[in-house]
Amino acid sequence: MAFSSAKNVTGNRIQQITDNRYFLIILLWLGLTAININKAFHIDDTFHIEAAEWIRSHPATPMSGYINWKNVPTPIYSHNQPPLFFFLIALFAGIFGVSEIPLHLLLSIFTFLSLYGFFKLTEILSIRSRKTLLLLFALSPALIVNQNLMTDVPLLAIVLFSAYFLLKAGQNEKLRNYCLAALLLGMGLMIKYSVLPLLVVLSLVIIFRRDYRHLPVLLIPIAILALWSWWNYREYGSIHFLDRPKGEFHINRFWAFVACTGSMSVFSVSLIYSIFRSNHAKTIYILFFAGFSVLAILSSNGLILDELNSILLNIIFILNGFIVFYALVRLLIKHIKAEGLRKYVSDASFVVFLFMASLSAFMILFAPFIATRHILLILPFILLFGHFCFDSINAGINRISIVLTLLLGLLLGISDYYYAGYYRTMAADIKHPKGRTVWTAGHWGWQWYSRKNGMLQYATHQSPVKSGDYFVYPGNISKQETGTNLKLSLVEKKWKEAGLLTFFSGNNMASMYSNSVRIAPWTFSRSPVDTIFIFRVDEVMSIPEAENSK
């Protein structure tokens, strides 16, 4: 009896722990951190680390350092982002050093804050299926893949908490919560300017609530942006916010955005079931499953070209993306009909819709390109606004959504882990001929690891390359143009055979980090991650001589 009683007490304590609202958050955070902890630096990580290295030595002039991210070194102010996150990397690296584990632990802090902020939003919105939504958010491939040393997860945490304080301001302590929301948006602007449309959301929410006397809180982010612009002008004579690179709108970016959303949203299983009759939903499931299965089988047997595979998958992703947005529009119309537009614009659900819609519009209109990290910013608001769909259906359907999200998240996360690690491994495998200089082209993670392994970064028509030097670059990444004055002869090609772990692939010119109408965010692929080309420099001509020899 005593043993049975002790067993019951232990069971009750375990039950209390697992029922605690923070248990699932911590468990998911530990899992996400473990997946990412030793991932190689990838894509824009190198730019951010190099910017942070400059800032450590020159904190008063953070935008004046030069980084080779195109063909030749260019000043940081000619690139896209303000440097608040770079300052944080510089501080952390100054204490713990520049390596994968400590810097990914820094990023992990923001992963936790994102999970916690999302869960707080589910509470303030009184969402019944909050654990389901938390799982769908945390296990999403958009979050798992994009835990790199980039600005997106820190920005996500800031945006989620700004939304939380804005919703809280509708309940109590208006001035305090509006100020906190505005301050966070100001901080977000110093990480990435894509927060800008949320200033419009903040002002609209205050007006819809008729809290006109709190409109001056908008001066907080405006003052932060003004001070930053003054700093820019003092540093280099211009204003970064106005001069940064901008993408021109093209209708193809809309389709790329829809495809990217669809590629990350296998939780559409629940949305389909909630908005269509069950027999129609089953037909849609079967069509999607058949399409994926046929493409996967054909691709695994090499019976379909990679280009066609990408286009066909993008069509499926676009259809799925339209289902997601169709469900959200139907929900919006339903709310407006039920409450009336005048009343609904003051509702917490409409605030969530404004966050989702404004960020989406900004990405489509102004982002230089579309990527899964852009979808990461709107994904939590899609889930929060669509929670009525998840609340209204059978729990078994939601479990299917969770399982599919977990599978896709792990498959793409593992594939991207190997993708990033490929350049770390290959850079270390390059043998340096004695007495010869080895030059390298290629950005992203390769730029960091090639430099770490003794290769010199090439600048087009600027580097002092000599005959007899060696020239190394990967074939499938963004890289400098090889000068027309160099005559190269191929010495060797190095690659590693692909395997099952990279079959769900985003290594088509880093498609999960920049997709298009023709390039799907991820595909099925039997191809090697990349090929490293090693050349010997046979002759270096003068530039005029090279031009005349064309």
The pLDDT, as a whole number, for residue 10 is: 53
Strands 470-474, 438-440: pairing kind: parallel
What token pair was written down for 142? Answer: 């958009």
Are both 297 and 430 inside the same structural domain? no
- Give the sign of the dihedral formed by CA 462, CA 466, CA 469, CA 471: positive
d(CA 348, CA 354): 10
pLDDT per residue over 353-374, tens digit each? 999 999 999 999 888 889 999 9
Query: In 255-293, which positions are buried (b, 16+ CB within 10 angstroms) versus exposed (e)?
Result: bbbbbbbbbbbbbbbbbbbbbbeeeebeebeeebeeeee
Alpha-helical segments (H) within 125-218: 130-138, 141-145, 152-168, 174-189, 196-208
Are both 291 and 319 inside the same structural domain? yes
d(CA 109, CA 101): 13
What single string gives the DSSP state of each residue in 253-316? HHHHHHHHHHHT-TTHHHHHHHHS-HHHHHHHHHHHHHHHHHHHHHHHTT-S-HHHHHHHHHHH
The pLDDT, as a whole number, for residue 361 is: 92
Q: Are 366 and 246 in contact (CB under 8 A)?
A: yes
The pLDDT, as a whole number, for residue 543 is: 66
Q: Which residue is listed with tokens 């958050």?
A: 25
Are both 378 and 321 inside the same structural domain? yes
The pLDDT, as a whole number, for residue 8 is: 56
The Cα angle at residue 517 between residues 136 and 373, in degrees rounded to 5: 35
Residue 179 lies in a domain: yes
Number of domains in the chain: 3
The pLDDT, as a whole number, for residue 547 is: 55
Q: CA separation (Å) from 344 to 156, 338, 340, 350?
A: 26, 9, 6, 7
Residue 53 lies in a domain: yes
Domain that holds residue 305: 249-393
Are both 236 and 263 inside the same structural domain? no
The pLDDT, as a whole number, for residue 11 is: 53
Residue ranges in the chain modelled with pLDDT below 50: none
Are both 234 and 332 inside the same structural domain? no
For residue 60, the Cα-to-chain-centroid distance in whole angstroms is: 29
The pLDDT, as a whole number, for residue 290 is: 84
What token pair was written down for 294? Answer: 């046929």
Residue 489 lies in a domain: yes
The pLDDT, as a whole number, for residue 367 is: 83
Are both 312 and 267 inside the same structural domain? yes
The pLDDT, as a whole number, for residue 423 is: 94
Side-chain half-sphere CA neighbours of 377 within 13 A:
31
Q: Are 412 and 504 in contact (CB under 8 A)?
A: yes
The pLDDT, as a whole number, for residue 207 is: 93
Are both 183 and 137 inside the same structural domain? yes
The pLDDT, as a whole number, for residue 432 is: 80
Are both 327 and 383 inside the same structural domain? yes
Are both 324 and 438 inside the same structural domain? no
- Structure letter (DSSP) for residue 1: -
The pLDDT, as a whole number, for residue 406 is: 95
d(CA 539, CA 29): 54
Are both 426 and 461 inside the same structural domain? yes
Are both 293 and 312 inside the same structural domain? yes
Which of 245, 269, 289 is the C-terminal boundary of a domain? 245
- Give the sign of the dihedral formed by CA 425, CA 431, CA 437, CA 439: negative
Are both 316 and 239 inside the same structural domain? no
